Structure 1
Amino acid sequence: MNFEFFVAERLLKQEGRIFSRPIVKIATVSIALSIAVMLVSVGVLEGFKNQIKEKITGFTSHIHLLPYTINYGDAAIPFTLSPNEKKDILSIENVKRLEPYTLMAGSIKTEKDFHGVLLKGVAPNFDSEFFRQHLLEGEIPDYKKNDSRQDVLISKNIADKMLLKTGDKLRVYFFIEGNYRVRPFRVAGIYQTGLGDYDDQFVICNASVIQQLNKWQESQYSGYEVKLKDFSKLQSSAQSIYHMLSQDKTVATIEDMEPNLFAWLDLLDSNVIIILILMTLVTIITACSTLLTMTFEQTQHIGILKSLGASTSSIIKIYMYKTVNITIKAMLLGNALALGIMYLQNRFRLIGLDQESYYLDSVPIEMDPWRIITVNVASMIICSLALLIPARSISRISPIQSIKFD
């Protein structure tokens, strides 16, 4: 054990006076709260962004393959992928699934009301896990069975507006080539995702119904959805897929289709960065104030150490050790507080949200060990470097004057 650490440890144990002082208690609470706020802020940001991305990509997937002359939602042109194109796309490491879909606008009409909708046709083997997680009533249609061909999934928003429940019959009217056509359906299930724009208009049906209305072949769809394993590789995966397609096809990422949503999520990053900067400043100012206060209160002790031959650098290290020790204990307290808050929120959902405004019904928090470690290490390094500035005041203390200091 070196000299500086030995003296610092003895001072910390000295009659418990260091930790009984109000300034140290205030510093401990202040630093602990700052660390807790930083960790919770980062956890909320990551949890919110990840859950929103999972929800939006669960409904619409990460990438859409479309005819080159078509915008999303305009499904007038049939789209076909060749076997080689399918094989090449599925060979990409980050690609999880490739699913066809059809789209057609229509209007649900009952005896009392009508509502414009967008029917999304899915293949019999489509990935239904997302809708299964958000299913409120009924069941997911099994389009592999012939008797389920007319079954549809509707949202709670549509069901409430049209006064529909599972098992009810409904008619959807389509305007095709200047004429109205009608198709009967049965409500098999009711879902609620919290994505207002989607819940207000999407009805999930069998793709073959729309293919028949458009007089398309079995291999012709409105487009294909590509589900990815890693969202962070969205752009690189989209570029790889684009180069595999023929010139009459293009790709659209979820960021292209929902620019406002992702701009809003990016804005959240800026807000959290501001919070991190402010809380780091609070931690730095508190630690520096604690060091200056201890230096002032123990001027006589510093003078005695200097008169005994201790160098200024050694004394600076002693008081740096003391302050860092207090800071570390405060950070541990802050971590315990933050982890407790995050656990309680994830377990009991104590803080709720307006789902129509925020797409989620409670505040999500992601407890990422690496981010927690990063925040702690970065805060400790920045704080330790900042302490070097007030520590220089020790060099200006005169041994003779300080020994007389009372």
Structure 2
Amino acid sequence: MNFSWWFAKKIAFGKSSKNNLSTTIIRIGQLAVAIGIMVALITLSTGIGARKGIKQKLADFNGHITIKPYNSNQSFNSDSLSIQQDFYPIFTSIPEVTHVQAIALKSGIIRTPDNFSGIVLKGVGTDYDVQRFDSYLVKGRFPNIEKTKISDEVVLPQKIANELHLDVDSSFVTYFLQDTGKPIYRRFKVTGIFSTDIKDFDDIYILGDIKHVQRLNKWDSLTIGSFELFTNNVEKIDQTANKVNEYIDFQLYAQSATSSFTQINDWIEIFDTNIFVVLFIMLLVVIINMIMVLLILILERTHSIGLLKTLGSTNWRVRKIFIYYSIFIMIPGLFFGNLIGISLLLIQKYFKVIKLPAENYYLSVAPVHLDLTQILLLNLSAILISAVVLIFPSYLIAKISPSQAMKINEI
């Protein structure tokens, strides 16, 4: 058995350590470790949760990757594109792509007796992933889209519905401007109201039948505006987009959701910076606290150090005893810090106690992402880094000679 490990365990958990100065020192150290790991855990879980949540919303509404004509304009109106592509309806060449759907966009103006609002009709077909969209429905249902029959049903964002005083089962007229300058109107019926908390979507987009856009643009049924692709990993959509660009025709190009919305993507990257800064500060606090605890314990047990050296222990063996001792002190702090931190995160995840202003954070509820691997890595990193850093202050033990230690005890 490792003597340093055994001896450190004895003094850490033995009865002799319960009724002296080290008891207070140990409790302070454990409290600091518990608070540090709890704050780090909450920061990591909510930061990653926010990043994933915003990316997922962008992807759910706009697709993880969008394929457009290479010379596509930057307006809200789609350019024409043939639906007859090798990758549609199933992108067999790239296994990361799990679903492909065709859409088309057409800008217009909703007019009501009281108000008006500029909108973009996002036309979708029977291949649209309705299940992915259902989580954003506030009320009502998604329109029934059929292959042969054109549907006048649409879903509206809650913001537009409130501004125009529209609700489920309401109807309204939308004007679309043609290339000739002559407006064409269409009457739609509201079947559902949605909210994504992302201003870029909730301010202008309504969803309906793609056949309306095809008729307005005088396209046939094989002409669409673009393709939306979904992948099996939202964190790797940029890499998958590069693969897609290598496969598709040179007249087309693929763009990831994160690159399409650079401003939102920049906001997402702020979370990564915040996570790093908070984790660094918390780790620094824990390390400084453990160094102070170690130094005080060394000074308190000067006689024990002298006795061990007299009995033949080397400086390194004695140093290892105190390093192990400090790690044993950390373990209860880590346990309770994790227990409290994970409990608070689970409460937030299932009861959604903390709300956020959606106009600032693109999320209405503080998100939580719990990953067992990340939790274990966070705890192991705290232990390993502390153990390595504690090697340096433990060098003080080498300065203590047996004779000096015994004299101090006699005094």
2:130 corresponds to which of 120, 123, 128? 128
The 8 Å contact of residues 88 and 244 in structure 1, kept in 2 or not, is answered as no
Report the counterpart of residue 291 of structure 2 in structure 1.
Answer: 288
User: Following TM superposition, by how much is the alpha carbon of 1:76 offset from its aligned partner in structure 2, in angstroms?
Assistant: 5.1
Structure 2 distance, partners of 1:87, 1:199, is: 28
Partner Cα separation in structure 1 for residue 7 and residue 252 of structure 2: 73
Pick from 322, 326, 330 the counterpart of residue 329 of structure 2. 326
Q: Distance in 1 between the 2:49 and 2:21 partners? A: 37
1:163 maps to: 165
Compared with structure 1, are the counterparts of its residues 117 and 8 closer, same or farther at alpha carbon in structure 2 (3 Å cutoff)?
same
The gaps in structure 1 that reach 5 residues or longer are: none
TM-score if structure 1 supplies the norm length? 0.95
1:341 aligns to 2:314 (yes or no): no
Q: Aligned equivalents of 2:9 and 2:243: distance in 1?
A: 59
Q: What SS does the aligned partner of 2:127 have? A: coil
Q: CA deviation at 1:292?
A: 0.5
Q: Hey, what's the Cα distance between the residues in 1 that align with 2:71 and 2:126? A: 28
User: Which letter does structure 2 place at the counterpart of 1:14?
Assistant: K
Match of 1:35 among 30, 34, 37: 37
What is the CA–CA distance in structure 1 between the aligned matches of 2:384 and 2:22, rounded to whole Å?
A: 26
Residue 144 and residue 388 in structure 1: after superposition, are their counterparts in 2 closer, same or farther (change >3 A)? same
Structure 1: distance between partners of 2:252 and 2:133: 29
**Bigger Cα displacement from structure 2, 312-321 vs 363-372:** 312-321
* Correspondence for 1:14: 15
Pair 1:45 & 2:47 matched: yes
Distance in 2 separating the partners of 1:131 and 1:314: 62
Change (3 A) 1:56 1:87: closer
Q: CA deviation at 1:232?
A: 3.2
1:138 maps to: 140
Larger deviation: 321-330 or 150-159? 321-330
2:12 pairs with 1:23: no
1:397 to 2:368 alignment: no
Q: Deviations over 1:93-136 (max 9, x none)?
A: 01111111110100000011110000000002311113311212
Alignment of 1:2-401 (within 5 A): 2-12=2-12, 13-15=14-16, 16-17=18-19, 21-75=23-77, 77-86=79-88, 89-144=91-146, 149-177=151-179, 178-401=181-404
Between 228-237 and 71-80, report the one with greater CA deviation: 71-80
- 1:84 aligns to what SS in structure 2? coil
Give 1:241 shift. 2.1
Q: What SS does the aligned partner of 1:92 have?
A: coil
- What is the DSSP-based 3-state SS (H/G/I as helix, E as strand, rest coil) of the residue aligned with 2:208? strand
* Alignment partners' CA distance in 1, 2:44 and 2:246: 37
The 1:310–1:288 alpha-carbon spacing in structure 2 relative to 1, beyond 3 Å, is same
Cα deviation 1:264-305 (Å, max 9, x = unaligned):
111211111111111111111111111110111111221122
| Aligned AA (2:345) | M
Name the count of aligned residue pairs. 406
Cα distance in structure 2, aligned partners of 1:3 and 1:218: 80
Asked whether the 8 Å contact 1:39–1:372 carries over to 2, the reply is yes
CA displacement at 1:195 relative to structure 2: 1.4
Q: Give the direction of change, closer, same or farther, for the CA distance of 1:85–1:335 in structure 2 (3 Å limit).
A: closer
Q: Which amino acid counterpart does residue 214 of structure 1 have in structure 2?
A: N
Do the aligned residues in 2 keep the contact of 1:142 with 1:148 (CA within 8 Å)?
A: no
Is the CA contact 1:89–1:244 (under 8 Å) kept in the aligned structure 2? no
* Residue 262 of structure 1, CA deviation: 0.9
> Is the CA contact (8 Å cut-off) linking 2:67 and 2:228 kept in structure 1?
yes
Cα distance in 1 for residues equivalent to 2:8 and 2:293: 15
Q: Which amino acid aligns with 2:283?
A: T
TM-fit CA distance, 1:392: 0.8
Q: What secondary structure, in the 3-state scheme, does the structure 2 residue paired with 1:404 have?
A: helix
- Give the Cα–Cα distance (whole angstroms) in 1 for the partners of residues 306 and 166 of structure 2: 85
Q: Describe the SS at the equivalent of 1:388.
A: coil
The 3 A distance-change label for structure 1 pair 19 and 212 is farther
What TM-score, normalized by structure 2, do the two folds share?
0.94
Going from structure 1 to structure 2, the CA distance change for 1:110 and 1:146 (only over 3 Å counts) comes to: farther
Alpha-carbon distance in structure 2 between the residues aligned to 1:322 and 1:330: 14
Long gaps (5+) in structure 2: none
* Contact map agreement 2:153 2:188 (CA 8 A) in 1: yes
**Could you tell me which amino acid in structure 2 is paired with residue 248 of structure 1?**
Q
Counterpart contact for 2:78–2:104, Cα < 8 Å: no
Deviation at 1:373, TM superposition (A): 1.0
